[in-house]
Amino acid sequence: MHEQDYNEALKHTNAGGTMELHALNVQIYLKMHRSDYAEKQLKIMLQIDEDHTLTQLANAWLNLAVGGSKIQEAYLIFQDFSEKFPMTGMILNGKAICCMHMGRFDEAESLLLEALNKDAKDAETLANLIVCSLHLGKSSSRYLSQLKLSYPDHMLVKRASAAEESFDRAIQANA
């Protein structure tokens, strides 16, 4: 999955059997933009144990992917996690992503800064802070620099570098 070879990953996880494998399948299908298959996996998880933490987490992932009115449901799941468990970067990022989808960027920024205080080098926190800062009209260069240093292969770093190269080529062509 890390290498983005999702079909190969599914060969090893599709047998299922554990909540962890079902949750991983949900993640893989969402990476493949197949929310229909992710929903089928989630239904299996709901039949096994609808209150299981991984079932709830997979449900939040699917709700985020589907969007629309499902974003509020995802937010409530992450809110429930924050009341049940110690606040982690994953929970804070989950809540922040929901807030961004709902247009509540100030709240998202606050959650992401809290996550950054817990782990100053977390790739997803840095990436989400970049996006959030841009929406707030704030500079994101500090977070992008940190992401480039710590995670040069991160998708956001690669896309930013490709955009910079395209911009530079356009300037050269017009010079």
The pLDDT, as a whole number, for residue 112 is 98
The pLDDT, as a whole number, for residue 69 is 93
The pLDDT, as a whole number, for residue 56 is 97
pTM check: above 0.85: yes
pLDDT at 72 over 80: yes
Residue pLDDT, tens place only, 50-68: 999 999 999 999 999 999 9
The pLDDT, as a whole number, for residue 4 is 86
The pLDDT, as a whole number, for residue 2 is 82
The pLDDT, as a whole number, for residue 6 is 93
Length of the chain: 175
Buried b (16+ CB within 10 A) or exposed e, 109-138: bbbbeebbeeeeebbbbbbbbbbbbeeeee
CA distance 139 to 132: 10
Confidence of residue 24 (pLDDT cuts 50, 70, 90): very high
Residue pLDDT, tens place only, 80-133: 999 999 999 999 999 999 999 999 999 999 999 999 999 999 999 999 999 999
Residue pLDDT, tens place only, 73-94: 999 999 999 999 999 999 999 9
What rounded mean pLDDT belongs to the chain? 94
Domain boundaries, the chain: 1-68, 77-163
The two most distant CA atoms of the chain are separated, in Å, by 63
The pLDDT, as a whole number, for residue 108 is 98
pLDDT at 41 over 80: yes
pLDDT at 175 over 80: no
pLDDT at 16 over 80: no
Asked if 42 and 74 count as a contact pair (C-beta separation under 8 A), the reply is no
Confidence of residue 174 (pLDDT cuts 50, 70, 90): confident
For 77-163, CATH number out of 3.40.50.10790, 1.25.40.10, 2.40.160.150, 1.10.3720.10 equals 1.25.40.10
